[in-house]
Structure 1
Amino acid sequence: LLTLEATRRTTGWALPITAGFFLLYGLYGALIPGTFGHRGYRMDRIVGQNYLTLEGIFGTPLEVAATFIVLFTIYGAVLEYSGAGKFFIDWSFAALGKSGSGTGPGRTVTAAGFLLGTVSGSGVATTVTLGSLAWPMLKRAGYDRNVAGGLLSAAGIGALLSPPTLGAAAFIIAEYLEVSYLRVLIYATIPTALYYLSCLLMIEADSRRMKTRAVDIETPPLWELTAKFGYHFTSLFVIVILLAVGITPFMAVFLSIVAAFALSFLRPETRLTSLRALAAGAVLGLIVLVRDLITLNNAGRFANLGNLSVPELLNFFAPLLGRASFLGMMLTALISAGLVMRRRFQAPRADALDARAAGAAPAGVGTAGHTATAGGAESSRLLQALEAGGKGAISIASTTATAGVIVSIVTLTGLGQKLSGQIVDLANNNLFFTVLFAAVAVWILGLAVPVTASYIIAAVMIVPALERLGVEPAAAHMFIFYYAVLADVSPPTALAPFAAAALTGGNPFRTTMLAWKYCLPAFLVPFMFTLSRDGESILMIGSWTTIVWTFLTACLAIAALAIAFGGWFIRQAALPERVLAGAAGLALLLADPRADAVGFALLVAATVVHLLLGRAKGTPPQPVGAGAD
């Protein structure tokens, strides 16, 4: 009950109610006729399954959340409060916002969504942050409220697909597949690129059709912005490099937090706390590190260091550096808390003295009051980051714990195997229909519960059906994950589009449907890596030649589908070429040599028809940004 209540408070009613139905199914399964019935279990057996085994509340999802995801939520909060989120948006505006064409704002929002998504890992948070800064620009460029909302939410939802977190699911996927976290990031790389390519091309088509205008954006030059704040990229590279050389994911993420914290002091405006607190923490960390090194030296642990490779040396010293950094940051946080408390107690007294000296001036206007407030803000930034990370961790922990309750019932009653068998039988052992039914099932499940919980439940209920027909485990797990994300842009639970509509003043349902349209071509890609062995190359499995060829084919398929759904090629596309382009895109997604040949032929035909129809109408290619001022 406490787990369900914690989930209700952090994520709403949907997931606890779903878990409640599963508990009732476990209790009263004997009353259900047919395949899905079972003998029923007493409450003490269900409680024991959840509380005393590793297939319930304390199962793999919660273990992963407590070990890895908590660190990532803190890492994202540290980056956000050190100004990385704003820098990523400003950097995107500086890089693409001054392109001089009407499609520049759309490209800018897409790029900013990707960069910001790597920090937040939350579709709603990315949408809100991005929308608050980008909506005025989109409005000036001539974007409709609903189109702008769809664009913002599509760019924001990409945070759930983007490395390094995949919306907190990356570590859980790694545990279920029994592969390294780095391998999961590799699996997600090309699908993420295809997702943003889809958004970019779809938004490009709408921008051209609406004849949006170029907008002057007041940002520093790109080189100046990069020179001043480019260090925010460093911690992202630190994660990848440490993982590549064999450092454990736990230590890699923690050291990235340390790097992001230390780098925030390169600029006064991005400091997370005062220099005094930093100095005290650094001194303690240095003392601990030196003491540990002396202890190891006296124990003779350094005798064979010369025989170790670079990765082995890093693995040897990383725990020492991590321990010293942890204790140093703990002291820094304690000192920061003390400084904040002192300033908060001193501020009212200082304000009162200022008011008395100034002759009834309003509180907080005096010099001392202003100084106290500014200093308190600097010292409290680290505490705010830790608080935000902790709140995010509570949400993830409660979600994974409640998902564990559902998994326990599925395991205890055999529901997963029953459902998998029913899906395969319904599809008559046909792989295409099995994959299609699995996609629909995951999508419906995702309408009721958050993405992470949806993936966890589907992993035990639906993945076996795909594996039974020969789909590789990696492809099966990535497939259900992507369709769990698709549910997040589908009504009635499309939180990101609803948040975007609230920002832009658009219609929530219309905004949701536009966001769905922008994402849809990319969400056909999972069929590519489940229906054929060559398609698995999208997950970077197989030879490099096959990977490159399949990636290029997928890009062409996305472009063809963007023509079909977006209605724009060189100029406005008519129905014939849109139908041909759509058929070409679907054929290219099959990742089969014969299907590729058909897809190329259909795309050539669509191009020829488009050019002939354009010539017959006498319509030249229309420049971007030709709309009225």
Structure 2
Amino acid sequence: MWVLGALLSVYSIAVVFKPVEAVEHRMTFLAVALPLVFVCYRSGLAGRFAKLARRERDGDLPTVADWALAALSIAVLVYPLLDIEAFRNRGSGAELSTLDVVAGLGLTVLLLEAVRRTVGGILSVICVLFLVYAFFGNYLPIGWSISHRGFDLDQIVSQLYTGTEGFFGVPLQVAATYIILFTIYGAVLDYSGASKFFIDLSFAAFRRSRAAPGRTVTTAGFLLGTVSGSGTATTVSLGSVAWPVLKRAGYPREPAGGILAAAGIGAILSPPTLGAAAFIIAEQLRTSYLQVLLYATIPTILYYLGIFLAIEIDSRRFGTQAVAVDVPKAGRLLLRFGYHFSSLLLIVVLMALDFSAFMSVVIATGVAFLLSFLDPEHRMGPKRIGEALAKGTLGALPVTAVCAAAGIIVGVITQTGLGLNLSTIIVDLAVGNLVLTTLLAALAVMLLGLAVPVTASYIIAAVIIAPALMNLGVERAEAYMFIFYYAVLSEVSPPTALSAVAASAITGGNSYRTMMMTWRYTLPAFLVPFAFVLTPNGQALLAQGPIGAVLVFTAVSAVAVASLAVVTGGISTWPVRALCGVAAVLLLFLDTIPIVAGLVVLAVAAAVHLITRRRNPA
């Protein structure tokens, strides 16, 4: 499997230099990736079948059933590639052969099982419900907005299997291009010693103060996120190193877990890599990935500002103390290993010079490989190169399964017109009011994110909820970025909150209280996206518009984030915190009158705080 993983990475890099026709490329990519899912991810059901056959091997190795599913995956994906033109012609004419239908149904079942193995069964169930809706939507009452004429088996298989509206659509394209290339880059960066350097530098960078441990962990999470691009993976990688330091500093288990989870989530909110959904945004907006990075820059600054302020407040609440960590001085680390930053910067520079994102990340990967020879301990010989290439592919497998299976949802929504109908329902429920529509949209995305991974929840919400926002005058970029942030924030929202659960497992804290602490640290990220859509000036937070307006509204938003830190930090009386909450909401409307009102309320809060403090110094 390591060999296949390395070969798929090589193929993905080669396609950058010698492009392959879109559907053929996606089918070929999935024909290797899907079998690897069954070989690499265990299944209780498959294990039981193997035991019945009395051919189960070591539990760490694939079973007979796993290999059988892998072989079936190859068969149903290689079959159309044998004569791709004839296959597509049959699909476009809706004249599929019996073998076409059987292969299409087989791929559907295999993808549902692949998703169940990689991210859990809920997304599989949702996909099945969409298929049932496609079959039986004509049985719904005619007056219902979501009823349709109904589609037979051939029509549904044709939609999902033969074109670019189903399995082989934009989500899988993103997995087969952006995501695989960035996971390869992240793996090479990791093998070159960058992860260790980022953690060491974070611990060395901050002076020894009571807030330094928390700030250090947050910074390390941001830097590690450039390697992993995954919130949960960053939380786990960081936690094993950072939890002992936070514990020595005096942080209770739950606040420490909240810091770890918030730092991990920052990995998929922050340039230069962001998460998988950001690549899909670039495709949907038909813009460059660099533009999406620009959209995310100011929200990222505000996100980390909120965390740092909360950490500063908590260091006083919990009476934390400075911790000495045995690492070289920051200057020495930068002089010796600072070259690890060069490939990250190179990606941005190359895209600014109009190189494609694909070519930019491939070149950066090559540079990271060459730079590994500057460190004898992490020099990448043939064995380490193969391991890094394999790790790059294996890191992309869960997202690939999700993206391919999401094609079922996207295909059904497109075929039945469900997206337009649901967006109309949302607007009707909100009585055409933008504020209510935005609140309903945020709630819907968060609820969806509780059940499915970030990428899947974004894909579903983008085709259903984005039109509702755009129908009320919200620009496409603002609508998609709003959905992106709420899809990501589902990872810190109770009751699932994967990153917080992972952090609580590391610290031994209560998982629910860890979720709530994480929510408190990330609160600005929940409120700032509303500014994107509720005011025309919200585009300034996406770095759009005159530079003066961008700077002014960013500063106003920073004051709002500081006000939110007072609200959640418990550093003053309830009247003061209530006033600060009102001020924060007013400031985030980003218009002249609300800003002035917000500043007045904030001034009143400061005055009340000073008076209260003089009367009661304790």
TM-score (norm 2): 0.81
Matched position secondary structure for 1:212: coil
Residue in 2 that maps onto 1:56 = 166
Q: How does 1:150-189 map to 2 (within 5 A)?
A: 150-189=258-297
Residue in 2 that maps onto 1:226 = 334
Partner Cα separation in structure 2 for residue 610 and residue 146 of structure 1 = 28
Residue in 1 that maps onto 2:56 = none
Residue in 1 that maps onto 2:251 = 143
- Asked if the contact 1:522–1:558 (Cα under 8 Å) also holds between the matched residues in 2, the reply is no
- Asked if the contact 1:235–1:259 (Cα under 8 Å) also holds between the matched residues in 2, the reply is yes
Measured after TM superposition, the shift of residue 106 of structure 1 is 0.7
- Asked if the contact 2:450–2:493 (Cα under 8 Å) also holds between the matched residues in 1, the reply is yes
Matched position secondary structure for 1:151: helix
Q: Which of these residues, 488, 508, 512, is aligned with residue 515 of structure 2? A: 512
Deviations 1:431-490 (A, max 9, x none): 111111111111111111111111111111110000000001000000000000111112
Measured after TM superposition, the shift of residue 14 of structure 1 is 2.0
Partner Cα separation in structure 2 for residue 496 and residue 236 of structure 1 = 25
Measured after TM superposition, the shift of residue 113 of structure 1 is 1.0
Matched position secondary structure for 2:325: coil
Residue in 2 that maps onto 1:318 = none
Matched position secondary structure for 2:276: coil
Q: How does 1:310-459 map to 2 (within 5 A)?
A: 336=382, 380-459=383-462
1:191 aligns with 2:190: no
Q: Which of these residues, 207, 211, 217, is aligned with residue 103 of structure 1? A: 211
Residue in 2 that maps onto 1:496 = 499
Matched position secondary structure for 2:147: coil
Residue identity in the other structure for 2:128: G
Partner Cα separation in structure 2 for residue 478 and residue 136 of structure 1 = 36
Unaligned runs of 5+ in 2: 1-108
Matched position secondary structure for 1:64: helix
Residue in 1 that maps onto 2:608 = 609
- Asked if the contact 1:128–1:499 (Cα under 8 Å) also holds between the matched residues in 2, the reply is yes
Residue in 2 that maps onto 1:203 = 311
Residue in 1 that maps onto 2:574 = 575
Residue in 2 that maps onto 1:597 = 596
Q: CA RMSD in A?
A: 1.1
Deviations 1:44-92 (A, max 9, x none): 2111100112111111111122122110011011111221111111111
Partner Cα separation in structure 2 for residue 558 and residue 40 of structure 1 = 49
Measured after TM superposition, the shift of residue 30 of structure 1 is 2.2
- Asked if the contact 2:278–2:484 (Cα under 8 Å) also holds between the matched residues in 1, the reply is no
Residue in 2 that maps onto 1:310 = none
Partner Cα separation in structure 2 for residue 457 and residue 203 of structure 1 = 35
Partner Cα separation in structure 1 for residue 149 and residue 201 of structure 2 = 60
Deviations 1:592-612 (A, max 9, x none): 110000110111111111111
Residue identity in the other structure for 2:158: G
Measured after TM superposition, the shift of residue 211 of structure 1 is 1.2
Partner Cα separation in structure 2 for residue 132 and residue 403 of structure 1 = 33
Partner Cα separation in structure 2 for residue 172 and residue 226 of structure 1 = 34
Q: Which of these residues, 201, 204, 227, is aligned with residue 91 of structure 1? A: 201
Q: Which of these residues, 470, 487, 499, is aligned with residue 467 of structure 1? A: 470
Residue in 1 that maps onto 2:617 = 618
1:9 aligns with 2:8: no
- Asked if the contact 2:485–2:525 (Cα under 8 Å) also holds between the matched residues in 1, the reply is no
Q: Which of these residues, 142, 145, 157, is aligned with residue 47 of structure 1? A: 157
Matched position secondary structure for 1:524: helix
- Asked if the contact 1:195–1:523 (Cα under 8 Å) also holds between the matched residues in 2, the reply is no
Q: Which runs of structure 1 show a deviation greater than 3 angstroms over 4 or more consecutive aligned residues?
A: none
Measured after TM superposition, the shift of residue 496 of structure 1 is 0.9
- Asked if the contact 2:446–2:487 (Cα under 8 Å) also holds between the matched residues in 1, the reply is yes
Residue in 2 that maps onto 1:271 = 379
1:132 aligns with 2:240: yes
Partner Cα separation in structure 2 for residue 114 and residue 216 of structure 1 = 21
1:36 aligns with 2:149: no
Partner Cα separation in structure 2 for residue 391 and residue 71 of structure 1 = 12
Residue in 2 that maps onto 1:320 = none
Measured after TM superposition, the shift of residue 410 of structure 1 is 0.8
- Asked if the contact 1:264–1:271 (Cα under 8 Å) also holds between the matched residues in 2, the reply is yes
Partner Cα separation in structure 1 for residue 606 and residue 311 of structure 2 = 20
Residue identity in the other structure for 1:225: L
Residue in 2 that maps onto 1:528 = 531
Measured after TM superposition, the shift of residue 165 of structure 1 is 2.5
Residue identity in the other structure for 1:435: T
Measured after TM superposition, the shift of residue 397 of structure 1 is 1.4
- Asked if the contact 1:18–1:448 (Cα under 8 Å) also holds between the matched residues in 2, the reply is no
- Asked if the contact 1:57–1:405 (Cα under 8 Å) also holds between the matched residues in 2, the reply is yes
Residue identity in the other structure for 1:460: V
Residue in 2 that maps onto 1:351 = none
- Asked if the contact 1:109–1:155 (Cα under 8 Å) also holds between the matched residues in 2, the reply is yes
Residue in 1 that maps onto 2:349 = 241
Partner Cα separation in structure 2 for residue 502 and residue 552 of structure 1 = 37
Measured after TM superposition, the shift of residue 515 of structure 1 is 0.6
Measured after TM superposition, the shift of residue 28 of structure 1 is 1.4
Partner Cα separation in structure 1 for residue 202 and residue 413 of structure 2 = 45
Unaligned runs of 5+ in 1: 274-335, 337-379, 620-629
